Structure 1
Amino acid sequence: MQIKKLRNEVSSAIAAGEVLERPASAIKELVENSVDSNASIIEVEIIQGGLESIRVRDNGIGIPAKDLNLALTRHATSKLFEISDLNSLKTLGFRGEALASIAAASRVNLSSRVRGDEGYFVEVLSGQILKQGSIGMSPGTSVSVEALFSTTPARLKYMKSSAVEAARIKQVVEGLALSNTSIGFSLKSDGKSILHTQGGSTLFNSFTTIYGSENASMMVQFESYSGLPYRANGIVSLPKYHRRDRKGIKVFVNGRVVNNRFLNVCVTEAYRGLLMEGRFPICVINLEVPSEELDVNVHPNKLEVRFLKESDAFISIQKPLRKLLLEQSSSNPSQLMPERLGGVTFTTPNLSFNFSVTPNQKNPTINEVIDQPLGNLKALGQIGSTYIVAEAPDGLIIVDQHAAHESIIFYELIGKWSSVDSASQPLLDPLIIETNQDQMETAINSKELLKSYGFDVEPFDETSVVLREIPKTLKLDRAAESLIALLSHPNINKSNEITDAEWGVAASIACHSAIRGGQSLTHFEMQQLLHALEFRSDPDHCPHGRPTTIKIDSKTLEKEFGRST
């Protein structure tokens, strides 16, 4: 088979296909050019989802008239000149392919004016110049694109409806607006304004403008602390606010919009155990990474990045975000059950499951607590000795007894540890527990830490330890299993990871202390468990992410039984 060099129009079409997947791709490239031009205002207008026409205008520094033609050719850029410049990029664009790719796939009118000069325009079709000349305009640049993909029909047939394409464009502009809050953005679709942000604003204000004040009220400020490899900041949702997909997770790198699964993992790991399975947080975070430790030249669309040290990126996001979420939980009454109870505690005696609820006299009594998230619950019975069915003021509640009890114990432990109150109980007959070498080393090196968790443990011989005290919430027959799980925790003896260690320890103790699924309860025991649940707000799941309750309101029941109209 004979090898031939591709004609320019063929190679340009191939290159355009890598950069331009759909109208949203073209707008991303054009808007990023406007951001790089130091613009303070960027206006985007589309017709028919950008397939009929796109226009992007800005008030940036402009392109000199003599460079307009060159700007429409491949690999022509003002943003780098040497290979070494790739290691110190400060701009979003750098490849010099966007304008040329767009021009190869449509009809483009590029006009620009540098302050102090007159405006100039160039009009091209499929990369060929049709006309050019002077034009009256304000300082800045305007790019008009008509009939995108008209020269590449194969790509055009894969486009979705104009409404779908417009929605994707809106997502792109929203991301760019959130990553560049100093710039005012506007977006019009078929003449209708669908987005407008003020320049010089804060991230919180921009988020409020885009998603509304109700959604913004769910967010808190996030800022990493000193001593971490990279700086990260933004706004994040507390665990009680979540959604069913990852679309609410937006992580920018040096202000660059990227699609990076690893960064999503950094965020979701911070929320591990705080959200139910299948639920995801909402966040907007910017990670600042030295340019020499970041490779942005991975793909022509510039949506992918590679980190020189992924572990540094991970701990720079996960550790401070995890710390913030746990601090919010321990200080916010709506986040931590013991605080929610106002001193009310819920314990499990060692020899039975006769639940008790004891109010603290310094705080409001049970009857004085006004805000009861679940309302007064009345136990009706059990399903399969696992789920408690209860009547609520406005419907029916089904409770997973193990998950609910586990959650209550878990947050009580976290609350006690945060207030340096690790209640323990001495054992009349100390337990001798066999360990492996690593577990023995942990028992020796972390004796005081274990004591703070309620475990008084010390070496007995070379292969076993003696346990003299255990947490009050822990049943005696599960003490050995719980201690071994604790000694095996990977972060238990790392002081810089104490937050994760405490979380894992509390989850382990709570799981081993809680009543089991399949265990029959008396009506009194069911009612006591429900009584404790009446005063808790969040989270509505156990530390492992399983839901604790399912609610069926009265309206749903009426509808199912045909009583509602």
Structure 2
Amino acid sequence: MGSIKVLDSAIQNKIAAGEVVERPSSVVKELLENSIDANARQIEVFIEESGMKQIRIVDDGDGIHHTDGPLLFQRHATSKIDMDYDLFQIRSLGFRGEALASIGAVAKVTVETKHVDGNPVFIRFEGGRLAEQIPGKERKGTDITITDLFYNTPARLKYMRSMRTESGKIIDVIQRMALAYPNISFRLVLDHSEKVMTKGNGNLKEVISDIYGLNIARHAVAFETRDADFHIRGFLIRPEITRSSRNYLNISVNRRFIRSFRLSQAVINGYHTLQPKDKYPIAIIDITMDPKLVDVNVHPAKTEVRFSKERELNQLLESAVRSRMKDEMLIPDVTRKAPVARQQTTQDTLDFSNVERQPDKRTETGRHHPVTRNFSKTSTDYRIVPKKTVLNETQEAIGPPAERHVQKPAREAPPAESQTAPDTPIEAAEEAVEKEKLPYLEIVGQLHGTYIILQNDTGMYMMDQHAAQERIKYEYYSENITRGKTDRVPLLIPYTFEFPMSDIIEIDDRQKRLQSLGFDIEKTGIRQYAVTAYPNWIDDRNPEADIEELIHFVSSKSDFSVSQYKEEMAIMMSCKQSIKANHYLDRPQIEALLESLGSCRSPYTCPHGRPVIIHMSTYEIERMFNRVMK
């Protein structure tokens, strides 16, 4: 006797649920699509315990006819298609007839609905079987409630992520739906707290403001293009506002949100040279096309699609984005209201240009040797001077970050006996290593505003000024960020920031980490935060922008250790604050740069691993000029 048999329908539905219902946000997505297909104009979503306890969706759509009740939870029972040809021209969001059957197989479901031409009906479905069907209340639309999700599949429960993660994914689904359908009012209540609310008046820019905040909406630029096959329209956010991931690229096809790496890359290419490396734009784009040109029957989640003219679509999208950005004047608007009666305080700072050192023959002859002076890790010979009222911008950029912030407390001097000579051979070896990090170097000049030319008796050296200052600032930020305590700069008028609801979940989760780094930050509204103090290692030339970028940086990181995060933040800050190429320096600035580099723990590479200094020996130079023949 053979061993092949047909599985029970309940088991079939549980297997299908593994593909369709991956997590609570998948349930929300499927039910929202059903409400939109039913011509709803108001949709309310109520979530408890990130959807694991309850998901309730109420709409004012056409409803379900009472005679369809027995078919509601059967697999492949749908009103969207009739024949196989319909699969080649899908115009609705749902069409498979798998969503309710899959949800009903792993949860307890109640449906109360009334069709415009039918009677009200109440249906209860549990664990893959119809438990009850009775007359319901007279109410237009559908009210569906899912409770105890995955109650009969404990293995799925075991691999659910944290409540915050699941809530964030639900918020993300609803926000993307709201951006694709600005004519529908969406309301999300998460654990009795309203998180998303859109008016449904058809104004997409107003929806952008409701979701991402007013500041981003101000930078939204409308664009539109078309050819014989595609009609593309939406909003692009000006490149001065960036994000650390592609998650803010909202692309829909025939108003169906999709994930497409190639289309996302086309948008990024359209912003070419307008945004820094590893930063991504914000965009809301809808592509209208003949349904015959796109196949949405690729994956049960229906977020992956295939195009028959994908290359033409990518080229059209990229050129449209590039052309629209080219037409814009992309000079950032830095005009801001001046604070009322904001008192300017003057603080002492460390002057790194005045160094007390012993007379040195090479220094007297114009040579520069930053590490031959007597230097100790446990003492400092820098003098404290009042902060200047006006600073040269270039010189300020060259100097160590400590020059631009509050004075660091001086470290305690060691006992007298330890100042005369090292106690142990190990300390003597450490001091020797400190002195030998950089050789004696004489400054020759600068090449192309990018490289510093140096020399000594062994040959020629070239130093990348950007990489050098990256190393200097990286060690400074690394030391200050990783310290347990840091000095803070108080604010008389707090900085206020507004973030999209999808970021709020992560920022709330990492608020204590921000406070441990030296930020006094508190939540002042549903999407607003106020910063009343920040650590003194933040650049004081534009601290508000740097603080906002750091908060975005924190919220974009999902799985990382605290030490890894601090390392990445130190690298980011050092790169952002360093001088760039084609920046000409005078001799005192070059000397200050070389002096600071000589005090670094590892002055040979930048934080990204690129070399800071390269050396060409005298022998190699002479051989190139045929002064030596071997």
Q: Report the TM-score when normalising by structure 2.
A: 0.55
- Give yes or no for contact 2:252–2:287 (8 Å, CA) kept in 1: yes
Q: Provide the residue aligned with 1:73 in structure 2.
A: 74
Classify 1:405/1:181 alpha carbon distance in 2 versus 1 (closer, same or farther; 3 Å).
Answer: farther
CA displacement, residues 223-268 of structure 1 (integer Å, 9 cap, x when unaligned): 22x4464111111111111011111111111100112212211111
Q: In 2 relative to 1, CA 401–254 (structure 1 residues): closer, same or farther, beyond 3 Å? A: farther
Q: Any idea what the Cα deviations from partners look like across 1:184-215, whole Å, max 9, x if unmatched?
A: 00111111111111112311111111122122
> CA offset at residue 43 of structure 1?
0.8
Q: Tell me which residue corresponds to 2:238.
A: 238
| Distance apart, 1:217 and its partner CA | 1.6
Paired residues for 1:75-154 under 5 Å: 75-154=76-155
2:595 counterpart residue number: none
Number of the residue aligned with 1:350: none
Equivalent positions of 1:371-450 (< 5 A) are 377-380=392-395, 401-402=449-450
CA contact (8 A) 1:377 1:393 kept: no
Q: State the alpha-carbon separation in 2 of the partners of residues 518 and 88 from structure 1.
A: 56
The answer on whether the counterparts of 2:449 and 2:583 sit within 8 Å (CA) in structure 1 is: no
Residue deviations 1:391-420 (CA, integer Å, cap 9, x gap): 999669xxx9549999xxxxxxxxxxxxxx
**What CA deviation, in whole Å up to 9, does each residue of 1:371-401 have, x standing for no partner?**
xxxx9744439xxxxx9559999669xxx95
CA distance in 2, matches of 1:124, 1:323: 53
- How far is 1:142 from its partner? 1.4
Please give the alpha-carbon distance, in whole angstroms, between the structure 1 residues aligned to 2:28 and 2:582: 57
Q: What corresponds to 1:269 in structure 2?
A: 269
In structure 2, the residue matched to 1:34 is 35
Give secondary structure in 2 for the equivalent of 1:380: helix
Instruction: Mark the CA change 1:194 to 1:401 in structure 2 (over 3 Å): closer, same or farther.
Output: farther
Q: Which runs of 5+ in 1 are unaligned?
A: 336-374, 382-386, 407-514, 527-565
Note the 1:244-263 alignment, pairs <5 A. Answer: 244-263=244-263
Secondary structure at 2:395 match in 1: strand
2:163 counterpart residue number: 162
Deviations, residues 106-146 of structure 1 (Å, cap 9, x unaligned): 11111210125431011010121111111113111111101
How far apart are the structure 2 equivalents of 1:235 and 1:181? Answer: 13
**C-alpha contact (below 8 Å) 1:229/1:312 kept by paired residues:** no
Amino acid in structure 2 at the alignment position of 1:304 = E
Shift of 1:5: 2.2
Alpha carbons 2:65, 2:117 under 8 Å: kept = no
- Counterpart of 1:32, as a letter, is E
CA 1:293–1:377 in 2, change beyond 3 Å: closer, same or farther?
farther
Taking the aligned partners of 2:240 and 2:402, their CA distance within structure 1 comes to 21
Retained in 1: the 8 A contact 2:42–2:59? yes
Question: Contact between 1:378 and 1:390, CA under 8 Å: does it hold in 2?
Answer: no
Residues of 1 paired with 2:324 and 2:589: CA distance?
36
Find the aligned partners of 1:393 and 1:136 in 2 and give their Cα distance.
Answer: 72
5+ residue gaps in structure 2?
334-389, 407-447, 452-463, 467-578, 591-630
- Match of residue 209 from structure 1: 210
> Matches of residues 522-537 of structure 1 in structure 2 within 5 Å?
522-523=586-587
CA distance in 1, matches of 2:582, 2:204: 49
**Deviations for 1:136-157, whole angstroms, at most 9, x for unmatched residues?**
1311111110101111111111
Instruction: Return the alpha-carbon distance in structure 2 between the equivalents of residues 518 and 87 of structure 1.
Output: 56
Counterpart Cα distance in 2 of 1:152 and 1:46: 21
Give the number of equivalent residue pairs: 369
How many angstroms apart in 2 are the aligned matches of 1:229 and 1:204? 26
How far apart in 1 are the matches of 2:38 and 2:585?
Answer: 69
In structure 2, the CA distance between the partners of 1:518 and 1:310, relative to structure 1 (3 Å rule), is closer
Q: For 1:401 and 1:395, locate their aligned partners in 2 and report how far apart those are by CA, in whole Å.
A: 27
Residue matched to 1:189: 190
Does the CA-based 8 Å contact 2:109-2:124 persist in structure 1?
yes
The answer (yes or no) to whether the contact 1:380–1:390 under 8 Å persists in 2 is: no
* 1:9-30 deviation line (CA, Å, top 9, x unaligned): 2111100110000000000000
Q: Does 1:25 align with 2:26?
A: yes
Distance 1:319 1:97 in 2: 39
Q: Which residue of 1 aligns with 2:306?
A: 306
Deviations along 1:19-70, one digit per CA (max 9) or x if unpaired, are: 0000000000000000000000011111100001111111111110000221
* 8 Å Cα contact 2:24/2:50 also seen in 1: yes
User: What is the distance in 2 between the residues matched to 1:46 and 1:516?
Assistant: 49
Spell out, residue by residue over 1:83-114, the C-alpha distance to the aligned partner (whole angstroms, 9 max, x if none).
11112211100000001100011111112101
SS at match of 1:292: helix
Letter of the structure 2 residue corresponding to residue 307 of structure 1: F
Distance across 1 between alignment mates of 2:584 and 2:128: 77
Residues 450 and 583 in structure 2, CA contact (< 8 A), matched pair in contact too:
no
Matched-pair contact (CA < 8 Å) for 1:377–1:391: no
Q: Secondary structure at the match of 1:244?
A: coil
The RMSD of aligned alpha carbons is: 3.1
Match of 1:52 in 2: 53
Shift of 1:300: 0.8
SS of match in other structure, 2:47: strand
Question: Structure 1 length normalisation: TM-score?
Answer: 0.61
- Structure 1 residues 378 and 302 mapped into 2: Cα distance closer, same or farther (>3 Å)? closer
For 1:310 and 1:159, the matched residues in 2 are separated by 35
Task: Tell me which residue corresponds to 1:553.
Answer: none
Q: 1:391 to 1:140 in 2, by over 3 A?
A: closer
**Residues in 2 aligned to 1:126 and 1:314: alpha-carbon distance in whole angstroms:** 45
